[in-house]
Structures are given as structure tokens and as C-alpha cells.
Amino acid sequence: MSETFVVVGGGLAGAKTVEALREREFPGRIELICEEEAPPYERPPLSKDYLAGRTEVADFTVHPREWYVRNDVELRLGTRATGLHPGSHEVELADSTRLGYDKLVLATGSRPRRLPLPGADSRGVHCLRRLGDADRLATALRRVGRLVIVGAGWIGLEVAAVARGYGVEVHVVEAARQPLLAALGPRMGEFFADLHREHGVTLHLSSHVSEIMAPSGVTGVRLTDGSELPADAVLLAVGARPELTLAETAGLDIDNGVLVDTGLTTSDPDILAVGDIAEVRHPAFGGLRVEHWANALKQPAVAAATMLGHSASYTELPYFFTDQYDLGMEYHGFVPGDVEERVVVRGSLADRRFVACWLDSAERVLAAMNVNVFGMAESIRELIHSGASVVPERLADTTYPLHDVDALRKRPVGSA
């Protein structure tokens, strides 16, 4: 009897999962449940090129509708899964339909965090997660003169860069003392702060919003110190939360996300999780959940192999990228929150062409960020995977090639 595999989630992770199943010649029935009306697409362009009007939706749609027809994938657009019943192997839809499954993949992604602020639901207040959000924000940026962004994370800063390209006056309000502090630490946070100030963005650091002033549409933002920032539009960019409702109601093991092994199987052997919601038992970092495009791109191949009974493990280093103004950046690795920051820079911060490396107390490279210097990915990954203790002065010296781990390595005392 033919098996049925169901994938819940219409983003990149869901689309790549059904693609990987057909590439591995799974002969059974595949159902892809998508809450949005659009076929699955990649989300990074929403805060970058698409928002700036430089790309079309077709450029970042994972597959056109015809692909799902050709590959015999039942694509259920505009369909929301409301319940998951492991006992009966069924997923329940909003219209009370129940679909049976043999294996199921949760790829439900994340939703924007909301702030319990007066005025947060007013006309002119935006968030950015879906295609429709980007369309509404792009329309606003073409019309407004002043934008306040609440949150100086990746989305907030990318939108700030796009908005400045439209000629919009931009103010960014951030609770931390530097942008991107949790992701990059104070030194690199200051680097990004300087980048945006030089492009005319006003940063309000160590600041909090008390109210969005919107008597009949947004007029400004009031901070907790009583100061007011005039605005024609507001973007709330204070992070995202994993969409765990189905996993919780199904009784799956959850911590910071849905707990999965390296094969991406949850506590139920017939349910897997991929993308933003998956907290993987990573061999190097322990339990690790990151909301990055690379996970949505690469985890599905492992999940498909596991579903088909093959041995597979997801051990990739975390990876993300950003584009802001004329700056392009890639980041590989992971720095635990309890590691005291030590950053070694190769190249020139002033010229914005460098590689920044994060070291632990044993002077091993945990992560590296290349800024406007490309073709470094393989060397960076090799250096991190090596676990070598390096000589910081050599790491900073560009005459020592980054790919030559042996030359960078610290020698034990007494060695030749």
C-alpha cells in the first residue's frame, strides 16, 4: 500500500522537503500544506532586493505551480493546519478535514514578535514576515517621508538601508546599547552602528518605546524618556518566535524549539521538524536552534533521507548573510552566549573589507564573518571545524592564508 507523507509549512523548508523526497524517488503521495496563498518562496529578499524593487516574486519563488503538478505533489495553498494527532496519524485542517499520514514534517517557521504597545495595531504600523507585508511596506516607503523602526536586528537594519535608498528619513529605536548586540557583540555592533549613521540613519540606543501615537493613523512614536519621534510609518522589527502550536498540541518534546536528533526526528518517530522551529542536537554546539535561511535550505535533504529509512545527520555550521547599502556580509559558526567575546580582525574596518573571527578562551575560532571579502566560505568552515588553537597575531595578519590552518595553529610548548 502506498505511503502518504505530509509536510506542514509553505516556506522554503517545506518546498525543499517535498523536492528532496521526489529527488530520492519516493513513490507515494505527498501533501504540502501552505497557509499563504502564494506558492513557497524564499524570505530574505523581502527585506532586501524585493523591498527595494530590484526583483520580482518569480525570482525567489522556490518552484512555480507547474512543478508541483509535474512532480505529483498536492499543493494546498491558503490552508491552515489547526491540529496534529499522532495517535491516529492525522493532521487536522481549519475546515475540520483530517489528512492521514505515515510520516509528517513540521516546517511551520516563525511569526513576528508583537509588542504590547498602545497604538501597535494602528494603520501605518508594519511588520515584515510575509509577501503581503513586504508589498504593504514597499508601498509605504514610496509615499512616506519619515519611518521609525523599532528594533536594530537584521530585519530592522536591512529595511533601514532600503528606506534610505527611497530617500526616507529613518530613526531606529533599539533597547540594547548597540545594534545586533546579541548576534555580534559590542565591537561589531558598533561597526554596524557607524555604517548606518554614515548613511543618515538616526539611532536611539538603550531606548524603549512606550507608545505609538496614532489618533487616526501613525503620527509618531513616544519613548519612555518622554521624547517623541515624528513618523508617517512604523516598522516593528523586534524578532520572531517559532510557530510551535502544532508541536505543543501533539505533545512533542520542546525546549527553545522542537527537539530533534541529528536526523531531524522529533520525540515521535513518525514526525520530523525542519527550519526555524527545529532545535538540533548539534555535535559541536549541543541543542541549537537558529532562524536562518541556510537551515531551511539544507535540512530538508536530511529529513527526506531519514523519512525514507536512510542514515543521515545534519551537522552544518550555522550560516547567515546580509546586504546593507554597499556592504555584503556572510557569517559562519556559532558563539554561545556564555563565551566572553574576543574578536580578531583581518583586514580593514575603515575600508569595510575584513574578516572578523570570534575566539574562545583556548583561542579556537568559533565563528567568522567576512565583510565585502568573498570566496572565503570553505576556508572559514575548515578553520572552525579544525578546532585548532590559533595564534591571534597570525590570524590578524593577512600574509598568513586563512586556509592554512597549520600555519595559524599554536604550537605546544617545546614542539619543533
pLDDT recorded at residue 413 = 43
Q: Is 386 helix (H, G, I), strand (E, B) or coil?
A: helix
Global confidence as pTM? 0.94
Q: pLDDT per residue over 167-191, tens digit each?
A: 999 999 999 999 999 999 999 999 9
Residues carrying CATH 3.30.390.30, the chain:
326-408
Alpha-carbon distance of 312 to 381, in angstroms, equals 20
Classify domain 4-110+240-308 by CATH number. 3.50.50.60
Does 415 have pLDDT greater than 70? no
Averaged over 52-56, what is the pLDDT?
A: 97
pLDDT category of residue 223 using cuts at 50, 70 and 90: very high
Query: What is the rounded average pLDDT of the residues 389-407?
Result: 95
pLDDT computed for residue 283 by the predictor? 73
Distances (CA, A) of 241 to 93, 110, 129, 281, 341: 22, 5, 11, 20, 26
- Give the E-state strand segments of 249-393 in sequence order: 258-260, 271-273, 278-282, 286-288, 319-324, 327-333, 343-348, 353-359, 365-371
pLDDT over 60 at 110, yes or no: yes
d(CA 121, CA 115): 10
pLDDT band (50, 70, 90) for residue 290 = confident
Q: What is the mean pLDDT of residues 112-132?
A: 94
In the chain, ranges of CATH 3.50.50.60 domains: 4-110+240-308, 125-236
pLDDT, position 410: 84
Q: What is the pLDDT of residue 291?
A: 85
Report the CATH number of the 326-408 domain.
Answer: 3.30.390.30
Query: Residue 238 pLDDT more than 90?
Result: yes
User: Cα angle vertex 400, ends 394, 404, to 5°?
Assistant: 105
What's at 357, amino acid-wise? Answer: C
Helices (H), 24-153: 57-60, 65-70, 131-141
> Residue 338 above 80 pLDDT?
no
Whole-number average pLDDT of the chain: 94
Mean pLDDT computed over 323-346:
88
Residue 126 has pLDDT above 70, yes or no: yes
Q: Which residues contact 233 (CB under 8 A, 6 or more apart)?
A: 124, 125, 126, 137, 140, 141, 144, 146, 147, 148, 218
CATH of domain 125-236: 3.50.50.60
- Which residues have a Cβ under 8 Å from the Cβ of 220 and sit 6 or more positions away? 148, 212, 213, 228, 229, 230, 231
Per-residue model confidence as pLDDT tens digits over 71-108: 999 999 999 999 999 999 999 999 999 999 999 999 99
Q: What is the rounded CA–CA span in Å between residue 317 and residue 162?
A: 29
∠ at Cα 379 (187, 331), nearest 5°? 35
How far apart (Å, rounded) are the C-alpha atoms in residues 4 and 70? 18
